[in-house]
Structure 1
Amino acid sequence: MSEHADALATRFGDGGPDGGDIEPNAFLRGVLSRKTVRRYSDRMPEEGLLDLLVACALSASAKSDFQQASVMRVRDADKRVAIGRLFPSMPWIAASPVFFVFLGDARRLQRIGELRGKPVKNGTLEGFFNASVDAALALQTMILCAESSGLGTCPISVIRNEIDTVAKVLELPDMVFPVAGLCLGYPAAEGHVSLRLPRSITTHVDRYGDDALPAALDDYDRRRHARHAIPKEQQRGNAEFGEAEFYGWSEDKARQAAKAEGAAFPPYLRAHGFSFD
């Protein structure tokens, strides 16, 4: 059995590859075992550590070295409360010791073009996509580096659902938009390792195929339900879809996706510098 077999079994439980003879690696094990944390102690991380984590985040890969991610730390208590009030089911937004917002920053490259006398139009679909990916890479880099330092994190993508208010609170200019927030602090309670989909349907070699999806989903739903079942009172959309006798992950996510989120995001972007041409 490999040194990572137990972590792989906890994360996937799919009977897939167990890491073979790979040498023990603390970072890999940490990634496999990572947890989302929503309850934090009152202990504030040191400023030097936070500065280092921001530097690590901004060291992430960037499309063509354009560097279209920006990181905003929200320290103002009124701003924190204003954002948290939008999402009452997520009190950790206002309560976590530290809250960052990761921004897709298509503005900076366009300004650089203006400063250097070059006609850069960065409000295209490509510009939006590149800035979004840069910000997402920076976000994930900070998550992994923070967790390796003993901190817990919880990414907050729902802020895009209230983009008009969030952008006003954060005083964002045109062509700068939030990709996600990030709660950060020392954990006050253990989270759990979320069981991931079997690798047989999420990894491919040479060609994409999803013929095995129905059977694999059924198996995954049963295994995940056995580990962390969704309580009946948390079933989504029962008025529309009815109460399910068995409510697995795929039923939950199908119901969630059927109610489209982020309707305000595209019109906001179009009104603030993006044409998507």
Structure 2
Amino acid sequence: MNPILQAQNNHKSIRQYTEQAIDPVLLQQLIQSAQGAASSSFIQAYSLVQVTIPENRHQIATLAGGQKWVESAAEFFVICADLTRVEYCSLEQGLGELEGNTEHFIAATTDATFFAQNLMLGAESVGLGAVFIGGIRNDPAQVAELLNLPNQVYPIFGLCLGYPDAEPDLKPRLPVDVILHKDSYDSSRCASDVNAYDAQMQAYYQSRGDNQKASNWSEQTAAAVQKKKREHMLGFLQQQGFLKR
């Protein structure tokens, strides 16, 4: 297995970090390499906010539900979908301002996500650990105000980077046969696929070195989506200029 495939297979969310700083030159290289990610029509509709002020990190960690690794990581970034440059181009070319189209929201969100995944993978390839912080969407308006995010920009998630001070167990992913459909989607196998994976995940949760628990994938997944609806997101996104049509 080549190093890239091995790195992809070995991804673990790291939430404990040493005090070692990341060399600024390395950080610049990682960001530049991450920009090689695919981009919808090459619009590159994303920005990265590096949060260095300790008080701001503390506020974001609190807003995210007390995620202390936001403060302890060597670096913390907020990944943003950003259509400001795109709108400027549109105005300069005489095509008018953006109108909050859903398609543009999707393009910017996927652009930013491709970039962020590239950044994480690159960081892991040089011995760094990382974890994405979706909890910043608990109160995106406060995060946007704290970071001075303008119209046409919204914070998607945070990213902690640092040198690992822990070695968590590797979670087994869904089998390829579960997510791969040939020619047409086969919904008839959903129940059997989930039940089999639940048994696998239950065994994993009970056997891992730290944080053992009696649970399975269904229980964790249902709680994750039904208890984190964040119904304020639509109004916030519309306020930022997204999802108006």
TM-score (norm 2): 0.92
1:37-186 matches, cutoff 5 A? 37-186=14-163
Q: Is the 8 A contact 1:103 1:177 kept in 2?
A: yes
Partner amino acid for 1:213? C
Partner amino acid for 2:201? R
1:239-254 matches, cutoff 5 A? 247-254=215-222
**Gap change, CA 1:219 and 1:94, over 3 Å in 2:** same
Largest Rg, 1 or 2: 1
Q: Is the 8 A contact 2:205 2:212 kept in 1?
A: no
Q: Is residue 263 of structure 1 aligned with residue 240 of structure 2?
A: no
**Gap change, CA 1:260 and 1:183, over 3 Å in 2:** closer
Q: Partners in 1 of 2:228 and 2:64 — Cα distance?
A: 17
* 3-state SS in 2 of match to 1:126: helix
Q: Which moved more, 1:206-215 or 1:45-54?
A: 206-215
Deviation at 1:275, TM superposition (A): 4.4
Q: Is the 8 A contact 2:136 2:143 kept in 1?
A: yes
* 3-state SS in 2 of match to 1:211: helix
Q: Partners in 1 of 2:7 and 2:243 — Cα distance?
A: 41
Unaligned runs of 5+ in 1: 1-23, 236-245
* 3-state SS in 2 of match to 1:111: helix
* Counterpart position of 1:224: 201
* Counterpart position of 1:200: 177
Partner amino acid for 1:264? H
Q: Is the 8 A contact 1:69 1:135 kept in 2?
A: yes
Deviation at 1:79, TM superposition (A): 1.2
Structure 1 residue runs of 4 or more that deviate by more than 4 Å after TM superposition:
none
CA deviations on 1:175-198 (whole Å, 9 max, x unpaired) are: 100111100000001022111112
Q: Is the 8 A contact 2:35 2:115 kept in 1?
A: yes
Deviation at 1:28, TM superposition (A): 0.7
Q: Is the 8 A contact 1:107 1:122 kept in 2?
A: no
Q: Is residue 32 of structure 1 aligned with residue 32 of structure 2?
A: no
Q: Partners in 2 of 1:258 and 1:230 — Cα distance?
A: 27
* 3-state SS in 1 of match to 2:131: strand
Q: Is the 8 A contact 2:45 2:111 kept in 1?
A: yes
Aligned residue pair count:
243
Q: Partners in 2 of 1:248 and 1:212 — Cα distance?
A: 19
Q: Is the 8 A contact 2:63 2:135 kept in 1?
A: no
Partner amino acid for 1:182? L
TM-score (norm 1): 0.82
Deviation at 1:83, TM superposition (A): 0.7
Deviation at 1:120, TM superposition (A): 4.2
